[in-house]
């Protein structure tokens, strides 16, 4: 696919009218909708804003590349827009943005589309092209400039590929002869790099192009592996890595790290690959990067240099979130199916086939909650060898089979958390223990030593230590909750529900939800008091935004008002993330009002003794609660308070001032 097939003349904006970042995004999204490129402007804009919240797409030199890949996009397109005056876009260099390339990729974009988008990204590294685009007056000029640049790049890429093939062959031959260090031809130093960004559309390939261009200027041979949406390209071989002076990781997501064991390695965000390629290459040549040791555990590709520079809490939180994120599909799928089963029970009776099938199916999903949580906490710490012991440890935490220690309760959710961390660090310890073994036995580590020793150790630890301790604590927690008076319960409900609105999907939100899930699981999926607090607390932020936009339209721009309407559905179905785009642009008013409303609602759920025996579903869970009126009153009161505070407190939108 030619780049010009993506750069359509009818979706170019040669004179952008917007004066700020939000306005520019609104104007470009509106153009996409008007030209039929997207069929859901609210969804597409939400994804654009989520990407901007992660890190700005204003890459500097007057360029911004906002991008999203979702089901709202009907065809892969790049919208070119130009602002003569320049727009403050929070770019990395602090300068105004003049050129915008808004990339729209369909959810199921094929490799052809992705390759074309990658090519576009790499072209924008060319300063001559950027300078010419800033002077272009018509869409035809833009297309001609890109056509000429693409032809020149294609010719260069063809020559580079031929040269790279020769160098690969030379390195393979050198590896066979046990030659390493500098480039195999003995003329130029050689480095390897990996680039990756979360969406894998733009920054991945821009970093690749910048590193290759800078390496050529510095007289350095380089091979860059890209981890983009189309998969891994130009994968580094063992011979490449062995021959390299050092390794550059320019990535914002996890990449395959153990293969770099023993190499000097520099680990930076992907944007450094775009903006600081000279520094990265020179530091690699000077071997300033620390020697990477794979046996030390996992390494996050977004860390500045090494995992050791992270704080202890940030490492624990990242490991925990890896477990929670992999567990959530079981929670959501099982929870909604379970909710349906109770509806079928009320309609057709407890012996109906509809009830028994859906109830069993939901329970099957729930039975994996703790094992999956533990397994992926362990994987985050100890990589793949930790998966099996983590999974087994998590499963052992769910069963009260500790007859040796006469435990009456299972270790439960809390024991599963412990199992994940123990299994992960246990594998880290085993890696260090076996680090001195001959390389000829490396294959036995993963297929024999780690599985067998890991299983034996986690079994002993869980059976004789973790299960007895946490079974006792779990039982004590259940007894405490059962004996808790209404006053104390209200305070806990206020805290849990308020936490759901502090960061809307972040650590506070996840901590509150994880606690409620733990109690729910420990009670045999019956005690849903805290699920009621966190569920209603999580429903209120998007609902409050939707209602405030409806009754206080002057406080929202037209685009914000239109986007807010989707939050009625998101709020009712317990998808708190619908509030994130609004919280990102106006955190004080949106988060402040949401926390107050959610906290009040959470306290009311405990005052009314609302029990929601399902971990998801939102308004669907109303059919399951023992206190339907209490559920409704808590939700309505909390939402009304949050929406009124937001409506009166939020300043009038600039376009309505």
Task: Tell me which residues are annotated as active site.
Answer: 67, 197
Tokens, residue 371:
């094992």
Residue labelled with tokens 């998969």: 231
Q: Give phi and psi for 126, each to the nearest 5.
A: -75, 110
Provide the phi-psi class of 406: left if phi over 0, else alpha when psi is between -120 and 50, else beta. Answer: left
Tokens, residue 415:
């024991």
Strand ranges inside 439-562, DSSP E: none
How far apart CA 547 and CA 651 sit, in angstroms, is 16
Instruction: Give the β-pairing of 221-228 and 231-233.
Output: antiparallel
* Tally of CB atoms within 10 A around 237: 16
How far apart CA 562 and CA 41 sit, in angstroms, is 9
How far apart CA 538 and CA 634 sit, in angstroms, is 12
- Listed residue (3, 275, 264) closest to 118, CA to CA: 3
b/e string for 471-481 if b means 16 or more Cβ within 10 A? beebbebbeeb
- Partners of 63 in the β-ladder: 60, 99
What is the 8-class DSSP label of residue 175?
A: H
DSSP 369-399: HHHHHHHHHHHHHH-GGGHHHHHHHHHHHH-
What is the 8-class DSSP label of residue 96?
A: P
What is the 8-class DSSP label of residue 186?
A: S
């Amino acid at each position: 696919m030619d780049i010009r097939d993506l750069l359509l003349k009818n979706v170019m904006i040669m004179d952008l009218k917007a004066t700020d970042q939000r306005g520019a995004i609104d104007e470009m999204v509106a153009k996409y909708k008007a030209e039929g490129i997207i069929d859901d402007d609210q969804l597409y804009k939400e994804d654009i804003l989520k990407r901007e919240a992660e890190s700005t797409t204003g890459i500097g030199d007057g360029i911004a590349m906002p991008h999203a890949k979702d089901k709202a996009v009907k065809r892969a397109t790049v919208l070119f827009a130009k602002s003569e005056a320049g727009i403050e876009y929070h770019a990395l260099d602090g300068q105004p943005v003049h050129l915008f390339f808004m990339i729209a990729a369909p959810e199921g974009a094929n490799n052809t589309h992705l390759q074309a988008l990658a090519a576009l990204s790499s072209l924008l590294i060319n300063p001559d092209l950027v300078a010419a685009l800033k002077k272009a007056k018509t869409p035809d000029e833009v297309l001609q400039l890109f056509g000429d640049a693409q032809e020149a790049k294609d010719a260069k890429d063809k020559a580079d590929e031929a040269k790279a093939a020769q160098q690969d062959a030379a390195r393979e031959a050198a590896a066979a002869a046990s030659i390493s260090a500098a480039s195999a031809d003995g003329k130029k130093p050689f480095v390897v790099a990996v680039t990756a960004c979360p969406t894998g559309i733009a920054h991945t390939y821009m970093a690749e192009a910048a590193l290759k261009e800078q390496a050529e200027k510095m007289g350095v041979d380089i091979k860059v592996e890209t981890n983009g949406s189309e998969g891994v390209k130009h994968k580094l071989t063992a011979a490449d890595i062995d021959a390299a002076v050092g390794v550059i990781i320019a990535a914002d997501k996890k990449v395959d790290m153990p293969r770099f064991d023993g190499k000097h390695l520099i680990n930076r965000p992907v944007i450094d690959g775009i903006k600081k390629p000279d520094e990265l290459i020179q530091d690699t040549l000077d071997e300033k990067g620390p020697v990477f040791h794979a046996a030390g555990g996992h390494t996050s590709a977004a860390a500045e240099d090494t995992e050791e520079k992270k704080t202890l809490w940030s490492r624990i939180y990242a490991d925990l979130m890896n477990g929670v994120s992999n567990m959530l599909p079981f929670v959501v799928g099982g929870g909604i199916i379970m909710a349906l089963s109770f509806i079928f029970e009320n309609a057709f009776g407890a012996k109906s086939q509809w009830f028994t099938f859906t109830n069993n199916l939901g329970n099957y999903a729930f039975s994996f909650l703790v094992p999956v949580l533990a397994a992926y906490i362990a994987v985050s710490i100890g990589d793949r060898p930790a998966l099996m012991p983590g999974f087994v440890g998590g499963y052992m935490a769910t069963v009260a089979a500790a007859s040796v220690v006469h435990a009456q309760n299972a270790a439960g959710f809390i024991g599963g958390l412990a199992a994940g961390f123990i299994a992960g660090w246990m594998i880290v310890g085993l890696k260090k223990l076996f680090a001195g073994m001959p390389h000829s036995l490396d294959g036995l580590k993963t297929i024999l030593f780690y599985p067998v020793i890991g299983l034996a150790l986690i079994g002993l630890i869980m059976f004789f230590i973790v299960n007895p301790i946490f079974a006792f604590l779990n039982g004590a927690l259940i007894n405490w909750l059962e004996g808790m008076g209404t006053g104390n319960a209200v305070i806990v409900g206020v805290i849990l529900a308020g936490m759901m609105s502090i960061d809307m999907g972040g650590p506070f939100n996840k901590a509150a939800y994880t606690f409620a899930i733990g109690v729910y699981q420990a009670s045999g999926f019956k005690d849903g008091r805290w699920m009621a607090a966190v569920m209603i607390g999580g429903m209120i932020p998007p609902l409050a935004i939707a209602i405030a936009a409806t009754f206080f339209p002057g406080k929202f721009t037209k685009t914000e008002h239109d986007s807010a309407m989707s939050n009625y559905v998101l709020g009712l179905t317990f998808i708190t993330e619908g509030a994130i785009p609004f919280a990102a642009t106006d955190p004080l008013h949106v988060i402040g009002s949401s926390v107050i409303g959610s906290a009040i609602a959470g306290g009311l759920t405990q005052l009314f003794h609302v029990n929601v025996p399902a971990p998801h579903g939102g308004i669907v869970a109303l059919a399951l609660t023992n206190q339907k009126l209490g559920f409704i009153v808590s939700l309505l009161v909390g939402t009304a308070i949050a929406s009124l505070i937001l409506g009166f407190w939020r300043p009038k939108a600039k376009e309505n001032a």
